[in-house]
Amino acid sequence: MRLIDTNTLATSIRKELLRRNEIFDSFFEAEAPRLAEACHEMSRRFLAGGRLLTFGSGSAATDAEHVSVEFVHPVIVGKRALPAMDLGGDFEKRLPVVLGSEDMVMGFSFPDADEAVERTLRTARERGALTFALMGEAGEYSFAPPDEDSFVCQEVFELLYHVLWETVHVYFEHREQGHDVGASSFLYPFLGKGEQPLEEVVKDVQGSMLQKMHETNRLRTAAAETEAGAISEIAATISERLEAGGKVIAFGNGGSATDANDLAADCVDPPPGLTPLPAVSLSAEPANITAIANDIGTEAIFARQLIAHARPEDVAIGISTSGGSTNILAALAEARKRGLLTVGILGYDGGRILSERLADHTVVVRSDYIPRIQEVQASIYHVLRALLERL
C-alpha cells in the first residue's frame, strides 16, 4: 500500500478551493448587469407563457438537469413552480419540435463550445427564443470560459443559473405586486419598503447577485479551512478502493441528484488530461427509481439499487444538503452492511449523517441555504475528483 501524505494533500486542497474566489469575483463583477437584464426579460416571458428549455452534452448535461429542477421545484417556500425542461441527449432534434416563441433556451458545453449545442441555440434564436450559451457564442447571452479548468467553469455557471432562478422571482413581485416581496424579503430587503422604479430594482438586483457570490466565496473559504483535511483523507481512501478494483457509487435527491450524476460523469468521461475512473450514479436511473418508489417506497430508491450494484471494494458517496434524507440514510446503512467505504458530502450542520456517524467520512458546507450549499459542494467534489488523478 502506498503511503499518502494527507497533510500535503490538504494544503493543495485549500489552495484549489481558495483560488476559485478571485475567478468568481471577476466574472460576476463583470456580468451582474447583463444577468439582471436577462432576469427581467425572463420574468416577462414566463408570465407570457414561456418555458425554459435546457440541454447539454457530457457532464454539461447534468447542469441542464439541475436548472430544470431548480425552476420546477423551488426551494423558497411559497414561490411558484416555473415551467422548465431538460431536453435530453437528442436535444437537437427535439428543440425545433417543442420550441415556442416566448421560450427561453439554455445550452451548456464544457470544456469548449459544442457544435450541436451552438447549432441548436442558433435555431432557437432565429425563432425568437431568448438564448443563453454557457459556453459558446451562439446565444443572445453568451459567456466565455471564466477559467481554463472546466470544473471551475461549471461551478461559475452553477452560481449563474442559481441567481437567475432566484432573481426572476423578484421581477415577478415587482411586476405583479409592486413593493410586496413576500417570502423573498429575507433575500431582497431592498424591495421590502415602498415601490421602486424598475431602473432602481435592476440596479439593486445587481448588488444582490454580488452579495450571493460573496456568500458562496465565504462558504468556500470556510470549507477550505475546516474541511481540507477530511477531503484529503477521503481522496486517499477512495484511491485505495479504486486500486483494489472498486468503483464510485453516487446518489442524491433533486439538485443533489444532478450533482451525483455530474460526479459519476466526471469520473467516467472526465475533462481532457484526466484518466477515466469507474463510477455509477443511482440518481440517473428514472425507471428503477420510479419502480422502487411505487412498489416499496421512496426511502428504498437508492438502497435497493445499491444491493444490485455494490461490491465490498466500492465507495458509496451520498450527497445531501440536509444530511437527513431517509433514502440517503438507508443507502449509507446498506453500503456499510456490505463493507463499502461510505462518504457524505453534506450541508446545514451535517444532519443525522454527521451527528450519528452514519458515514465513514463526511464533508460539511455549513449553511442553511440550499443553492449556496450546492455551489460549494460542487467545488468540493470537483477538487476531490481532480485529486484522485494524483494518487
Domain-embedded: residue 9: no
C-alpha cell at 301: 430508491
206 and 269 housed in the same domain: no
110 and 231 housed in the same domain: no
Q: What SS3 class is residue 2?
A: coil
Domain-embedded: residue 15: no
267 and 122 housed in the same domain: no
What per-residue confidence (pLDDT) applies to 281? 98
Domain-embedded: residue 7: no
173 and 239 housed in the same domain: no
CATH number reported for the structural domain that contains residue 178 in this entry: 3.40.50.10490
What per-residue confidence (pLDDT) applies to 78? 67
* Residue 367 near residue 361 (C-beta atoms within 8 A): no
Residue 205, C-beta contacts closer than 8 angstroms, at least 6 positions apart: 36, 39, 167, 170, 171, 188
184 and 306 housed in the same domain: no
Domain-embedded: residue 3: no
Amino acid at position 333, single letter: A
What per-residue confidence (pLDDT) applies to 171? 81
- d(CA 86, CA 261) in angstroms, rounded, equals 14
Structural domain boundaries, residue 70: 20-215
Stretches in the chain below the pLDDT threshold 70: 1-4, 75-78, 175-199
127 and 161 housed in the same domain: yes
What per-residue confidence (pLDDT) applies to 2? 58
What per-residue confidence (pLDDT) applies to 136? 87
Ranges of beta strands (E only) in 112-247 are 130-134, 141-143
* Residue 340 near residue 249 (C-beta atoms within 8 A): yes
CA 292 to each of CA 73, 259, 323: distance values in angstroms, whole numbers, following the listed order? 22, 21, 22
Last residue of a domain, one of 215, 250, 266: 215
Last residue of a domain, one of 157, 190, 215: 215
Using DSSP bridges, classify how beta strands 141-143 and 279-281 pair: parallel, antiparallel or unpaired: unpaired
- d(CA 130, CA 333) in angstroms, rounded, equals 46
* Residue 162 near residue 24 (C-beta atoms within 8 A): no
97 in the Ramachandran plot: left (φ > 0), alpha (ψ -120 to 50) or beta? alpha
Q: C-alpha angle 369/374/380, rounded to 5°?
A: 130
What per-residue confidence (pLDDT) applies to 170? 80
| Count of domains for the chain | 2
31 and 151 housed in the same domain: yes
* Residue 23 near residue 147 (C-beta atoms within 8 A): yes
C-alpha cell at 357: 456517524
Q: What SS3 class is residue 323?
A: coil
143 and 268 housed in the same domain: no
Question: Which residue(s) pair with 107 in the sheet?
Answer: 55, 133
Question: Which residue(s) pair with 207 in the sheet?
Answer: none
- d(CA 49, CA 159) in angstroms, rounded, equals 25
| Alpha-carbon dihedral angle through residues 290, 280, 342, 73, given to the nearest 10 degrees | -40
Q: Which contacts (CB < 8 Å, 24+ apart) does range 266-271 have?
A: 266/59, 266/151, 266/381, 266/382, 266/385, 267/385, 269/58, 269/59, 270/385, 271/110, 271/111, 271/149, 271/150, 271/151
- d(CA 43, CA 51) in angstroms, rounded, equals 11
Q: C-alpha angle 347/350/356, rounded to 5°?
A: 160
Burial class (CB in 10 A: 0-12, 13-18, 19+), 144: exposed
* Residue 134 near residue 113 (C-beta atoms within 8 A): no
Amino acid at position 74, single letter: P
Give start and end residues of each alpha helix (H) in 227-309.
228-243, 255-268, 286-295, 303-309
179 and 252 housed in the same domain: no
Domain-embedded: residue 12: no
Domain-embedded: residue 340: yes
Last residue of a domain, one of 181, 215, 249: 215
Domain-embedded: residue 220: no
Eight-class DSSP state of 88: -
- d(CA 210, CA 79) in angstroms, rounded, equals 22
C-alpha cell at 153: 467553469
Domain-embedded: residue 13: no
267 and 171 housed in the same domain: no
167 and 248 housed in the same domain: no
Which DSSP helix (H) or strand (E) runs through 55?
Answer: strand 52-56
102 and 205 housed in the same domain: yes
